[in-house]
Structure 1
Amino acid sequence: MFKKLLATVGIGGAKVDTILTSELLSPGDNFSANIVITGGDTEQTISGLDLALMTRVKVKRDETDMIANQRIAQWRIADSFVINAGETKTIPFSAQLPYETPISANGARNNQTKVWISTGLNIDMAIDASDKDPLNIIATSIQNKVLQAMDLCGYSLVKADVEEGQLRGNGFVSSIGCYQELEFKPNKFALFGLNEVEVSFVATPQVTHVLLELDRNFGGDSYRSMSLDNGLSQDQVTAQIKNFLG
């Protein structure tokens, strides 16, 4: 099985390697990893070991746009323990990605979406150690059908980023403190005469909510939302997208 080295963290001689057993993940997927802790030259007390799922978000502070790191999930791997000199401890770990995890492997020409797992190794009387390594988060089946539908309507994905805040639509609201925006521009075959379409997802196990921001030549921006059953076919999704864009 493919194993990806996620992160290597070391301080004061001790080292931790986090090894993921899958190369590609989608929002809501279960994943597993092995956390391998190797002791240094002397015995050390580890005060805690955590993993955190992180992303980069656009934030506004005092009317200034900034980029910040945001934690969207965290898992405690181990509490205080002792690692002897030269000792190796292996801790198997499994968890589930949040359904709202941003899609980092999205194919946008300007892809600003970054998702990674940060490994934290805390050692008494020492500065916390941490490292990070990007994750390839691909669209779920229903999300991919929405992206394909946009392509079939003549719109190309030009930019993807994540913004701080909460997303609201008809009957749904986001829950992780940030949301992804996928920005589409029309090509020469585009339908409906739109200047731009921004697509955002709020996914759940059975339904994927979609918020569309439509920029028209006349009338300014407007918002439309829909809730798609995750089992819909490509033709069904394309028909709904066409209906909302028109």
Structure 2
Amino acid sequence: MFGKLKASLGIGAAKVDTVLESMSVFQGDTLKGVVHIQGGDVEQQIDAINLKLCTEVKVESDNSVSYQSFVLGKLQAVQPFTIQPNENKQVPFELKLDDETPITALNALKNLCHVWVETSLDIDFAIDPKDRDFIEVKPLPVAAKVISAIESAGFAMVKADVEKGYLRGGNFSSKSGCYQEIEFRNNGFINKKEIELSFILEGGVMHCLAEVDRSLSMRGDQYISFTLPLGASDGEISQAVSRVLSV
């Protein structure tokens, strides 16, 4: 009885550790791995193994900015089971990345984009054991080429973050409830310009929304959206990016 009381307080309780096949994936990939559960000092009932794909989003109010965890996807790996003292149980899983999962592999001066898998054991009347594994999300080739084209035009990637809310382009809109902004800036004096770029993967295409701010322009911010197939040619990418650069 005393052992169960200690376990309910997290002392000598079951532990969880998620091991991913790869810590580096591309947009739209499927995460694969194994959840390792190590039994504690007493028998415990595990009601579920919950895996969550998370990111951190910026939330702006009238007077402040805060950051909070945001769940992009979730998976319940098993049905309820009992783990015996010191028993080791392994549960394989697959969790597809949400198409709007932010890219984290960015060479930004200030990169605030983080993605992780959080694993927890659902145990009645106990502190749920948890494990957090950060992953690197790389841009698909079409997104990487758009970024490269903007940088080749003299723009530096200065910041990347994830904001709470939705985006709407000419023929698309986001669905996850958060969106990534990748900010570029050039060093021009007369033609000083900032570009905020967002990608939305949807099936076999990559949607892009660019917000362009010219410091000396009287027209205010301009928005340009375009859609490219995942296998877009260099010419198609160059033509799309030139619309953004010409604003």
Normalized against structure 1, the TM-score is what?
A: 0.90
Superposition deviation, residue 122 in structure 1: 1.6
Tell me what 1:109 maps to.
Answer: 109
- Determine the structure 2 residue equivalent to 1:23: 23
Q: Secondary structure of 1:13's match?
A: coil
Which residue of 1 is the match for residue 6 of structure 2? none
Contact 1:110 1:158 in 2 (8 A): yes
Note the C-alpha offset of 1:142. 0.9
1:159 matched residue in structure 2: 159
Describe the SS at the equivalent of 1:82: strand
Tell me the secondary structure at the aligned position of residue 169 of structure 1.
Answer: coil
Q: Which structure has the highest strand share of the two?
A: 1
Closer/same/farther in 2, CA of residues 127 and 215 from structure 1, 3 Å limit? same
Residue 4 of structure 1 corresponds to: none
Question: Which 4+ stretches in 1 moved above 3 angstroms?
Answer: none
Aligned to 1:197: 195
Which of 1 and 2 has greater Rg? 2
Q: How many residues align?
A: 235
The answer on whether the counterparts of 2:15 and 2:37 sit within 8 Å (CA) in structure 1 is yes
Written as runs of structure 1 = structure 2, the 5 A alignment for 1:1-150 is 12-61=12-61, 63-150=63-150
Q: CA RMSD in A?
A: 1.8
Larger displacement relative to structure 2 (121-130 or 134-143): 121-130
The 1-side partners of 2:161 and 2:59 are apart by 11
Long gaps (5+) in structure 1 = 1-9
Moved more, 132-141 or 234-243: 234-243
Deviation at 1:12, TM superposition (A): 4.0
SS state at 1:135 partner = strand
Q: Which residue does the alignment assign to 1:215? A: 213
Q: Measured at CA, do residues 47 and 62 of structure 1 come closer, stay the same or move farther in structure 2, by a change above 3 Å?
A: farther
Instruction: Give the distance between the partners of 2:192 and 2:212, measured in 1 at CA.
Output: 7
What residue in structure 2 maps to residue 185 of structure 1?
185
Q: Distance in 1 between matches of 2:14 and 2:145?
A: 46
Deviations 1:138-175 (A, max 9, x none): 11111101111111211111100000000100111111
Task: Tell me: CA distance 1:173–1:34, structure 2 relative to 1, closer, same or farther (3 Å).
Answer: same
Partner secondary structure for residue 132 of structure 1: strand
